[in-house]
Amino acid sequence: MIGPAHHVGIAVQRLDSAIERYRALGLVLDYAEEVPAAGVRVAFLRAGGIHIELVEPVDPSGAVARFLAKRGEGLHHVAFATHDIAGELARLEKEGFELVDRVPRPGARGSTVAFLQPRSAHGVLIELVQEPT
Ligand code: CO
């Protein structure tokens, strides 16, 4: 089953200045790291029960770099937690969602993630996140 909202992803040009801006808003930085598998550096800031994820591309040919070039900074994706990411991908495909990731891949902090095509979710890129057990 899809669990609660996990985080909201925001694409940014420069992670350090974005972290300072969202700290000034009042959020607390939880952790930051590079996710080589996704070609990004990310920072997670606490926002109540969920996080705000700031995403800076390090791979100029990656999906987030292309997003920034086309649309500029801004809301990039909404993530939901799950305890069975492979099972959820199979279920959601049956429900008619188009999968970006057929096979889940490594995310931040040992998590496993997979994305759904925005065109199958009213224009919103949806991420599934399974935390390490
Ligand atoms: Co994310």
Residue-wise pLDDT for 29-53, tens only, equals 999 999 988 899 999 999 999 999 9
Burial degree of 91 (CB within 10 A; 0-12, 13-18, 19+): middle
pLDDT digits (tens, 9 = 90+) for 92-113: 999 999 999 999 999 999 999 9
pLDDT at 118 over 90: yes
pLDDT at 11 over 90: yes
Where are the domains positioned within the chain? 2-130
From ligand 1's centre to the CA of 9, what distance in Å? 5
pLDDT at 91 over 90: yes
DSSP state at residue 104: -
From ligand 1's centre to the CA of 3, what distance in Å? 15
From ligand 1's centre to the CA of 95, what distance in Å? 22
From ligand 1's centre to the CA of 24, what distance in Å? 22
From ligand 1's centre to the CA of 94, what distance in Å? 23
Superfamily for domain range 2-130: 2,3-Dihydroxybiphenyl 1,2-Dioxygenase, domain 1 (3.10.180.10)
Could you count the other beta carbons within 10 Å of the beta carbon of residue 35?
18
Q: What is the pTM of this model?
A: 0.95
